[in-house]
Structure 1
Amino acid sequence: MKRLLLAFALWLPAIAMAGSLQPLTAAEVPALLQPPARGERIIALWALDCAYCEPNLEALAALQRAHPHEIELLTVTTDSIEQREAIEARLRSMQMAGYPARAYAEASPEQINFLLDPDWGGETPRVLVIRADGSRLGISGALTPEQLQKLR
């Protein structure tokens, strides 16, 4: 019995990590854009082929860790959920696997881009900040220290 419990305890973290990446459809976008009850929701949009995405994600994760009760961070890759293995491997290598993660699951990624932010042209990295008061901020490109300060 003890061996079984030990095996289960060792296996549990693997189960928790598996399947952390969820598909994002157009129908689910409005729920992501709802203002949080308090603080801010930061949606970090990135792509596998994006050179500036990793430093942005690292900076956003550090910001969230500094303000864990005020900032909700989630990542959304503009790559297809069909690339699940590559996306999950990249999230692990960037130490972002612990954050909620979504990947596009529509034949028309442009539709999801538009629904997320009608002012966005699809370039990555892109950061969307949704505040509890309903205000929003969108920033494209590599984040500067000044831009990071505006997020808080």
Structure 2
Amino acid sequence: MKRLLLAIALLSPALAIAAPLQPLAAADVPALLRPPARGERIIALWALDCAYCEPNLEALARLQRAHPDDIELVIVATDSIEQRKTIEAHLHDMKMDVYPTRAYAEASPERINFLLDPGWGGETPRVMVIHADGSRLGISGALTPDQLQKLR
């Protein structure tokens, strides 16, 4: 019976529990960038005013759902945590509020950008892939099918 209830909960989007939006401060970045025990952690950086971010998030969510045991998807809004309600509403409308989500919580977003990836200029969308072996890949812009294949 427990297995049946668990299966229903996992398969029903209506029963999915929204992940709370958490602040991302400079002190939190090292833990976010730590390699996962296995597979990949995909960090999807996006912004409320980004035209290509929504399709990227949807493509990454499909990829994660296809490989739930190997891919951890973390969504990071480069917008201020002070815009919490707007960010949460947008993610809810996109049905992306079931993934761990962070939003910048520093007065200087450039500092967090640099800590996440010193070579990144802050453009969105940005995808960072951290592999279990510690290697990393960063991609800016709208994801192509070929790039999505390379994420794995």
TM-score of the superposed pair, with normalisation by structure 2: 0.88
1:41 matched to 2:62: no
**Where does structure 1 differ by over 4 angstroms across 4 or more consecutive aligned residues?**
none
Tell me the residue number matched to 2:5.
Answer: none
1:117 aligns with 2:117: yes
Q: Which residue of 2 aligns with 1:79?
A: 79
Deviation at 1:69, TM superposition (A): 0.3
SS in 2 for 1:134: coil
Alignment deviations for residues 77-121 of structure 1 (CA, whole Å, 9 cap, x no partner): 000000000000000011100000000000000000000000100
% identical aligned pairs: 80
Match of 1:7 in 2: none
1:62 aligns with 2:58: no
Question: Which stretches in structure 1 are left out of the alignment for 5+ residues?
Answer: 1-12
TM-fit CA distance, 1:66? 0.2
Deviation at 1:29, TM superposition (A): 0.1
1:94 matched to 2:94? The reply is yes
Larger Rg: 1
Q: Secondary structure at the match of 1:56?
A: helix
> Residues of 2 paired with 1:63 and 1:134: CA distance?
20
Match of 1:143 in 2: 143
- TM-score scaled by structure 1? 0.88
* RMSD (Å), alpha carbons: 1.3
Distance of 2:34 and 2:63 partners within structure 1: 21
Aligned residues: 138
Inter-partner Cα distance in structure 2 for 1:33 and 1:93? 28
Unpaired runs of at least 5, structure 2: 1-14
